[in-house]
Structure formats: structure tokens, C-alpha cells
Amino acid sequence: MARADAVSLSLVGAGLAILSGCEGGASTLTNSGVSGTRETLLGAFLLIVAAAVVVVIGALVLIAAFRHREPHGVEAGIEPTRAAVDRRWILIGGILIPVAVLATAYVFTVGTLDAVASPGHPYAASVTLTGHQWWWEAVYQDSEPAHSFTAANEVHLPVGEPVYFGVQTADVIHSFWVPELAGKIELIPGRQNSLWLEARVPGVFVGLCSQYCGTQHAHMRITVVAESPDAFHGWLARQRESAPAPADSTQAAGQQVFLTRGCASCHTIRGTGAGGAMGPDLTHLASRHMLGAGAMPNTPPNLMAWIQDAQGIKPGSDMPRMDLPPRELEALVAYLETLR
């Protein structure tokens, strides 16, 4: 009885987990992206066709198994008629119907591949996205070099306009996937692949690394924000700016902590002496939704916890534990909160 109860509880738990996965989060069924919608329709079509084939074959097997067979043969005078029926089954069920289904699937597949290969209008922006263990570096390219900038773990898109992504890796194989917007693409060492994203509706979407890449693979997420074109261009303008100067003595003290306590050796803050390249660019850290590539929401208490013990939150990350006096820690967080 105990074993049966345990099995029942396991099944219930699995059912709840499946149902919970259907609400919110990253789902290919949302269809909020242009290319993702086409890919989802193709997948649904192929699933329906496969299910229909299984049902038809299953039905025929059952009919053959339970059908009452009459004696037949040349003696009964029915062999020619049966042969003609068999030939019709082979011609229709074995040749004509499969050819029609496969031809339809082929045309649908080729049409979808052509549709998602490139958008029908110019790109609103071009992004070079680099996967690291375990975070994302996003460089928004511009024909004017001074207008290019680097962000981390968050990208923005204008609704109704495509954005080009050239994807690459700095270490191992990663995979970039925003389930609600488009299919996934691999990040392979020594090669740059590409895809484009176009959101049909505003929203905040979750991007994943769907290729196991190390101990913190599950904590390698990227936030994708789809907003109106005006809001997007405003975001671009703000991201191109350097970090603001400290507005008071507490913020100034926090900046000094950042510059002198080792943070500047790993991170960049444009407009200051911090020019590290190992970790994410923090020039506009406070404007981002999440910390640690999706490890936790970006709030002052979480930022303080992350600075104090990133290893406890995301074991294996490069950021070391920082044992700062409370006053220095508070000043550092006050300064980082100005980086918007």
C-alpha cells in the first residue's frame, strides 16, 4: 500500500509539474514571434499528420485482427475480385495517399524554411551575441563606431521590426533559444551562426541556453524585452551614454570601492577607470531586470547579496566572495543603483 501511495504521489507531482509548465514561462505555444509562429504551425501540422497516420494504421490493424474471414480461393470463385480490391488498397493507401501527404509536408516545410531564413524588411538593429560560462554578452553594432555599445544578459527589440543576431561562443558549445519568439540556434566554437527575432506583441520574454554547458547551465538566461519602436530607440540612446557621475558623497565612495576593491579588473563601466573584460559590462546595470544571468530579480537587497556571496547563489561563477565592511557595501550598492 505504501508503495502504491508513493507511486500515486509521484504521478500527481509529475502531472502538476507538467500543468505548471503550461502557464507562463518560456513556451513555444505562445507564438509571440514572427518566425516562431511559422515554425510552430509547421510543427503542429507534422504532429497532426503523424498522429493521423498512427490512428489509421492502428484502426486497420484492429480491423484485420477482428474481422471475420470468409473462405476464399479459386474454388470459391472470388480470387479475381479479392485481387482487384487488394490492388486498389495498395494503389490508394500505399502510394497515392502517402505521396500526397509527403508532398504537402515537403511544400509546407520548404515554405517555412524560406520564410524564417530572412525577414521581409530591413533589420532595425544588429547584435553580436556571445555566450560565456555562464552569461550573455550582447554588442549592439552601428555603422558609427561611437554608437556601438555592450550590454549583458538583456536585449531589447522593437515590436514589428526584425533584429539580426550573430551568435558565437567564447568557450564551449551553447544554444540560444527564446521559445516564445523563435527556434533555437547553436553557438559553436570557431564559428558564427545567425538568426533574427521579431516580436509581434510587447512583452518580456525568457531566453535560454538549451545546450548543457557546465554546472550553471540552468542559470544562463537572457531577458528579451519587446517594446514599441519609440521606446526601443530611447533605450538605445540611453545605453550609448556613459555612466553618470556620482551625485553625492555616498555614491562617490561607492565608486571608489568599485575601482579599488578589484571589481574594475573584471568589469567595465564606461566613463570611469573600470575597463575589465572578463565579466559583464555594468555601465547600465541598474536598468536590467535580472542579476546573474537570470539568477534573481535585480533589486538592491539582491544586488547586495550577490556582491557578498555570488558563489553561494551561483556556484562555479567567476565572481569571488567580497567581504566588505557594511558601510562600504552600502556605498557600493548605492553607486551601482545609479547605473541606469
pLDDT given for residue 175 in this prediction: 95
Domains 125-240 and 249-336 share a fold: yes
pLDDT given for residue 116 in this prediction: 87
Q: How many residues does the chain have?
A: 340
pLDDT given for residue 69 in this prediction: 62
- Please give the Cα distance from 274 to 266 (Å, whole number): 8
Question: Buried b vs exposed e over 196-231: b needs ≥16 C-beta within 10 Å?
Answer: bbbbeeebebbbbbbbebeebbebbbbbbbbbeeee
- Please give the Cα distance from 40 to 227 (Å, whole number): 23
Which cell is 329 given?
A: 557595501
E-only strand ranges, the chain: 125-132, 135-141, 149-152, 154-158, 163-169, 174-177, 185-187, 193-197, 203-209, 221-227, 290-291, 296-297
Instruction: Tell me the DSSP string of 202-258.
Output: -EEEEEEE-S--STTGGG-EEEEEEE-HHHHHHHHHHHHSPPPPP-SHHHHHHHHHH
pLDDT in tens, the chain (340 residues): 444 443 343 433 334 333 333 444 567 777 888 888 888 889 899 999 999 999 988 988 888 788 766 555 555 555 555 666 667 778 887 888 889 999 999 999 999 888 888 898 899 999 999 999 999 999 999 988 889 999 999 999 999 999 999 999 999 999 999 999 998 999 999 999 999 999 999 999 999 999 899 989 989 999 999 999 999 999 999 999 999 999 999 999 999 999 998 888 889 999 998 988 888 999 999 999 999 999 999 999 999 999 988 888 888 777 777 788 899 999 999 999 999 9
pLDDT given for residue 7 in this prediction: 37
CB atoms within 10 A of CB 151: 23
pLDDT given for residue 74 in this prediction: 52
- Please give the Cα distance from 325 to 280 (Å, whole number): 24
Angle at which helix 34-66 crosses helix 97-117, to 10 degrees, equals 170
pLDDT given for residue 76 in this prediction: 52
The answer to whether 134 and 150 have CB atoms below 8 angstroms apart is: no
Q: Kindly list the distances between the CA atom of residue 8 and the CA atoms of 14, 17, 19, 95, 162, in Å, as whole numbers in the listed order.
A: 10, 14, 16, 46, 48
CATH class in words for 249-336:
mainly beta
User: How does DSSP classify residue 12?
Assistant: H
Which cell is 19 given?
A: 500543468
Give the CATH H-level superfamily of domain 125-240: Cupredoxins -  blue copper proteins (2.60.40.420)
> Of 333, 324, 142, 330, which Cα lies nearest the Cα of 239?
142
- Please give the Cα distance from 317 to 334 (Å, whole number): 24
Q: Where do the structural domains in the chain lie, given as residue ranges?
A: 26-117, 125-240, 249-336
Which cell is 53 given?
A: 497516420
Q: Is the dihedral of CA 184, 190, 192, 193 positive or negative?
A: negative
Which cell is 59 given?
A: 484502426
> Of 320, 337, 238, 322, which Cα lies nearest the Cα of 279?
320
